[in-house]
Amino acid sequence: MDNLPKTDYMYICVYKIQNKCNIMEIKTIGVLTSGGDAPGMNACIRAVTRAAIYQHWKVYGIYRGWEGLINDEVRELTTESVSNTIQRGGTILKTARSEEFRKPEGRKKAHETLVKYGIDALIVIGGNGSLSGALELAKEYDFPVIGLPGTIDNDLYGTDSTIGYDTALNTIVQCVDKIRDTATSHDRIFFVEVMGRDAGFLTQNSAIAAGAEAAIIPEDCTDIDQLATFIGRGIRKSKNSSIVLVSEKDGGAMHYADRVRKEYPQYDVRVSILGHLQRGGTPTAYDRILSSRLGVAAIEALNEGQRNIMVGIKNDQIVYVPIARAIKWDKPIDKELIHVLGVLSI
Ligand code: F6P
C-alpha cells in the first residue's frame, strides 16, 4: 500500500479510520455479477471464491444478479465450482438487469435472502448501475459491500481499467482489421459502431489500435461538428477508403452515415454495427490477471474492515475508491489520445 499515489493512500487511511467501529468478523460472503456481462468476470468469481476460502470463509454464489438475490437463487461455491472457468467469457453466475431491485420492496427481499443465508458481506461485480444498487443496499441496511469494476465500457472513476475492457478492445480491433480489407477493396467509407454506453474509451482506443481515420466519441461532442471536421480534413486526399469508429450514443454510426449520404453524396458509405460480439469471447491475459488481482484484493479489503468501496487499479497498484465516487464522478478521456489519433490519421 505504501506504493500508492499519495492522494489515494491518504484517502484509504481516512476511510479505514472512519469505518473502524464497524469492523466485524466475516464468516460468510456472497458474490454476484450484475448488469452487462464482461470477459474476465469468471476469473474474478474464481479469485473471490478461492481467496475467501483461503481465509476459511464460506462463499455463496448468487445467480442472475440482484434478481437472483430477490428470488433466492443462491448456491454454495467451492474451489471446485470455479475450476476450469478462468478462460471462459460470460459469467457462470449469470447476470440480469433488475427493475425490481430499484424499488425499496425489491431491496427488502434481497436483504432477507442475505439474512437467510447468514451472509455477512457481499461482493458485487458489475458496472455503474450494479454498483449504484450495491450502495443503495449498503446504506439502507448498513450492510457491507465491496464493488469490483466489471464492464467493457471502462467508465468507472478511480480505476485505470475495468474487467472486460481489454478483451473488448482487442475484439473490436480484430473486427476492424477485417472490415478494413473490404473497405480498401471497394474504396468505401465505413462507419463502425462501437459499444460503451455514454463513454468513448472503447471507440477512441480501438481507433488508435486499428489505425482508423477518425473516432467520434461522446466526450468530444462539444459544439464542434466531428463529422465536418473529419470531412474537412480531406478524407480522400491521400486515401481511397476510410474507417470511422463511432460510439453508440446519440444515433451512432447510422446517424453519421445518413448525414454523409445526404451532405456528401459523392462518397460510397457503409455501416457496421459490431453489437454484442464485443462482450463475448475468452478474456485476454490482461483481463484474467486484473480480475484475479481485484478478486483477491476485495477479500483482503473486507478482512481489514473496508466496506462500501470499489477496488480498482491505478498505475498498476490496487486502490480503494468509495463506491459513491466511482459511480458519480466523470472519468475523463485523456486528450492526448484524441491528439494521437488526429496526428496519425493524416
Ligand atoms: O454496459 C455494457 C454494455 O455492453 C454497453 O456498452 C451497452 O450500451 C449495453 O451494455 C447494452 O446492454 P444490453 O446488453 O442490455 O442491450
* CATH assignment of the domain containing 256: 3.40.50.460
Asked whether residue 119 falls in the same domain as residue 261, the answer is: no
Last residue of one domain, picked from the residues 222, 256, 279? 279
Question: Which residue is closest in CA terms to ligand 1's atom 3?
Answer: 36
Ligand 1, residues 97, 99, 153: which to mutate, most atoms within 8 A of Cβ? 153
Q: Is the per-residue pLDDT at 320 higher than 90?
A: yes
Asked whether residue 117 falls in the same domain as residue 215, the answer is: no
C-beta of residue 111 within 8 angstroms of C-beta of residue 141: yes
Residue 52 belongs to a domain: yes
Edge to edge, the sheet with strand 74-77 lists: 74-77, 58-62, 28-33, 121-126, 145-149, 309-314, 317-322
Q: How far is the CA of 80 from the centre of ligand 1 (A)?
A: 31
Residue 333 belongs to a domain: no
Residue 1 belongs to a domain: no
The confidence score (pLDDT) of residue 264 equals: 87
Last residue of one domain, picked from the residues 239, 256, 279? 279
> 208: domain range?
165-279
153 lines ligand 1 (CB under 6 A): yes
Asked whether residue 271 falls in the same domain as residue 311, the answer is: no
Residue type, 28: T
Residue 335 belongs to a domain: no
For residue 242, give the C-alpha cell. 476510410
Q: Is the per-residue pLDDT at 12 higher than 60?
A: no
Once rounded to an integer, what is the mean pLDDT over residues 101-111?
98
Distances (CA, A) of 28 to 119, 126, 156, 302: 5, 21, 27, 11
pLDDT digits (tens, 9 = 90+) for 132-175: 999 999 999 999 999 999 999 999 999 999 999 999 999 999 99
Q: How far is the CA of 12 from the centre of ligand 1 (A)?
A: 31
Asked whether residue 94 falls in the same domain as residue 204, the answer is: no
Last residue of one domain, picked from the residues 242, 262, 279? 279
Helical residues (DSSP H) of the chain, grouped into ranges: 6-19, 41-54, 65-70, 104-116, 128-141, 165-186, 201-210, 226-232, 252-263, 285-303, 323-328, 335-344
288 lines ligand 1 (CB under 6 A): no
Residue 346 belongs to a domain: no
Asked whether residue 266 falls in the same domain as residue 292, the answer is: no
Asked whether residue 31 falls in the same domain as residue 136, the answer is: yes
Asked whether residue 44 falls in the same domain as residue 116, the answer is: yes
pTM: predicted TM-score of the whole model, two decimal places: 0.93
Lowest mean pLDDT among 1-15, 81-95, 203-217: 1-15
3-state secondary structure of 258: helix
Residue 340 belongs to a domain: no
Asked whether residue 63 falls in the same domain as residue 153, the answer is: yes
The confidence score (pLDDT) of residue 333 equals: 95
Question: How many domains are there within the chain?
Answer: 2
List the CATH number of the domain containing 27. 3.40.50.450
For residue 133, give the C-alpha cell. 444498487
Asked whether residue 156 falls in the same domain as residue 302, the answer is: yes
Q: How far is the CA of 197 from the centre of ligand 1 (A)?
A: 7
Instruction: Name the strand (E) or helix (H) holding 216.
Output: strand 214-216
Query: Which band of pLDDT confidence, cut at 50, 70 and 90, is reported for residue 223?
Result: low
* Residue for grid cell 466531428: 226
Asked whether residue 246 falls in the same domain as residue 292, the answer is: no
**What is the C-alpha to C-alpha distance for residues 303 and 103, in angstroms, rounded to an integer?**
30
Once rounded to an integer, what is the mean pLDDT over residues 11-17?
43
Asked whether residue 309 falls in the same domain as residue 260, the answer is: no
Asked whether residue 155 falls in the same domain as residue 273, the answer is: no
| 279 strand-pairing partners | none
